[in-house]
A and B are shown apart, each in its own frame.
Chain A
Amino acid sequence: MPDLITTANLDDPDGMFEALMEAHRDLAPEASRQLDAKLVLLLANHIGRADIVKQAIALAAK
């Protein structure tokens, strides 16, 4: 099973980043927090492997 990908892997990095910023643009901090939490859960489910998510958590917490 492959590990967490940490090399460039996105097809459209600028477009993805822009979409994230756009989604948060008019949100109060609490709503932003909700949005991020939902995003993490949706993406974690899409990845489908807790071990990969745990690797990402470890990396993000550094």
Chain B
Amino acid sequence: MAYRFWRVHAAKANFMGGAIALNPRAATLTASASSRATLESAAVRWTLIAVASLFLALFLFMPLAMVFVSAFSKGIHAYLASFREPDAQAAIRLTLLTAGIAVPLNLLFGVAAAWCIAKFEFIGKSLLITLIDVPFSVSPVVSGLIYVLMFGLQGAMGPWLVAHDIKIIFAVPGIVLATIFVTFPFVARELIPLIQAQGNDEEEAALTLGASGWQTFLRVTLPNVKWGLLYGVIICNARAMGEFGAVSVVSGHVRGLTNTMPLHIEILYNEYQFVPAFAVASLLALLALLTLVIKSFVEWQSKRQLTEDAENWSMETA
């Protein structure tokens, strides 16, 4: 019996071998059959790749490289000297302070909003979702103007603020407020679909096991969305440090006091101080590159978790 089974098996293997011989690349390609079927011819593929590469080189890599080339055009000493200037240091400090306030606040808000939108049904929910998107759809300049209209001298709350000697516009609070507004949606937008997709099952399980709402949130909900959350924070931080338009309107450009890095770069550039301008710009660019690296890592991690979840799910339904 065993012998016969082996014969049948061998015959089958032969047949398969024949099939593979007909199309030797089929065995080496890891892509699925459907993607092979939709593959374009070599000429089309190479043309598309060439166009994309050329575009990237012209509009992305070369400008980025130019930032560093210009920054180092007078040598490393001139480059480093740009950061020893008190105004530059003040700008860096202010940028860090702004991001340091805006990011944690938007983290809190984003988690709260995502939690409430994804887990509960209430009247005005779709309005809230739309409102969260407002900073995305409004021009940053308008975002800045909103605060000038609110807290400026001629603004709605202007006289009251003057009477109490509180300065918001053309001061650090205005810059922080404008940055918070502009970076408002990043964390919430990232978390809402994630929390929605994960459903309520694990939270309900935690409740029946005696966990409080806070324990459920900390021990069950938060760990499940940690990679998405980190991703949102990174993007939020990148935007908070790089924001120009809204901050420009409310800042007043007081050197050493209300200039963030992007504003400082613009002033230097307008004064034809190219090396310091590009030196500070290179710092922002480095920050962006670092952000991208962290972002890629986080994406890779969260993707791994997603595939794990998917496997999880397919095993459950199998």
A and B are interacting partners: no
